[in-house]
Amino acid sequence: MRRPAIWTEENSLSKKAVLTMLSSNLIRWSGPLAVLGGVLWTATWILVAFTADGTRDVFGFSERGWRTLLLNPAMLFFMAGLVAFHAKQAGRSGNLGKSGFVICLLGLGTLLLGNIIEFWVSELFYGSQQPGWATMGVGFLLLPIGLLLFGIATLKARVFSGWRRAVPFGFALILALLILSGVALMLLSGSRSQEGFLGAVLLSIAAGWAVLGYALWSDKDKGESRSDQGTG
């Protein structure tokens, strides 16, 4: 027996509403993951500072152990927050937003790859951490570039409410200024002088992703519906 067209349409709309709600909740709850990533990132570098350049263990783990147990998940949580933030405004952020998102995601992926290479490939098999640090250096450079493009697109999209839409752009500016200042100081005064800037960069990354995650979680507006309006 053929079902009435009205029933089919109502059923379809009901399924779409459920999927939209699930998607919205998944996006929103990716925010706390980014915040958790910031906590793990900060904890990693604090613990690593007590390992005396990897020569002693802290709570039974070496620098390799802490950076594997905490830093790798932290970067995965950053990725989750980034993907969710982009998904919420994808319909209105345009090609600029997509480009920034891809570059930013590539930067995080390169940081993660560099962290793995440093301890589980180059040091383990070749006795040198340099290739891993070099790979992470590329990630540190890609991150502010991607965030800058992503931040401009977020401001234009106007999906997030209030101060939240300025978070990626502000994050990008602070990170870019710190990295450029650190590079300039390193060239002028030698590598030892920029250790403080490295700490500031690492702290700004943790804070930036934590604020971005909070912005994602706390935004009450239905970004998905506004995103659909932009594509319609």
At residue 221 the predicted structure's pLDDT band, cuts being 50, 70 and 90, is low
The residues, ordered by sequence, that sit 6+ positions from 83 with a Cβ below 8 Å of its Cβ are: 30, 105
pLDDT in the model for residue 190: 62
Q: In whole numbers, what is the pLDDT of the chain averaged over residues?
A: 85
pTM for the predicted model, two decimal places: 0.85
Between 22 and 10, the more confident residue is 22
Contact 205, 69 (CB under 8 A): no
Q: Quick one: average pLDDT of 120-147?
A: 88
Q: Which two tokens stand for residue 197?
A: 């800037």
Between 169 and 10, the more confident residue is 169
Distance of CA 169 to the CA centre of its chain: 13
| Burial grade of 14 (CB within 10 A; 0-12, 13-18, 19 or more) | exposed
The residues, ordered by sequence, that sit 6+ positions from 165 with a Cβ below 8 Å of its Cβ are: 154, 155, 157, 158, 159
Domains of the chain: which residue ranges?
Answer: 29-220
Q: Average the pLDDT over each of 71-75, 107-111, 217-221 and give the range with the smallest value.
A: 217-221
Percent of the chain whose predicted confidence (pLDDT) is above 90: 62
pLDDT in the model for residue 42: 97
In the DSSP assignment, the letter for residue 222 is -
> Facing residues of 61 across strands?
58
In the DSSP assignment, the letter for residue 177 is H
pLDDT in the model for residue 145: 97
In the DSSP assignment, the letter for residue 4 is P
Tell me, what amino acid is at 85? F
Q: How far is Cα 215 from Cα 223, in angstroms, rounded to an integer?
A: 12
The secondary structure of 15-74 as a DSSP string is HHHHHHHHHHHHHHTHHHHHHHHHHHHHHHHHHHHTTTTTTS-BTTB-HHHHIIIIIHHH
**pLDDT tops 70 at residue 219:** yes
Q: Quick one: average pLDDT of 130-140?
A: 92
Q: Quick one: average pLDDT of 135-153?
A: 96
Write the pLDDT tens digit of every residue in 52-94: 777 789 999 999 899 999 999 999 999 999 999 999 999 999 9
At residue 6 the predicted structure's pLDDT band, cuts being 50, 70 and 90, is very low
Write the pLDDT tens digit of every residue in 156-197: 999 999 999 999 999 999 999 998 888 787 777 765 556 677
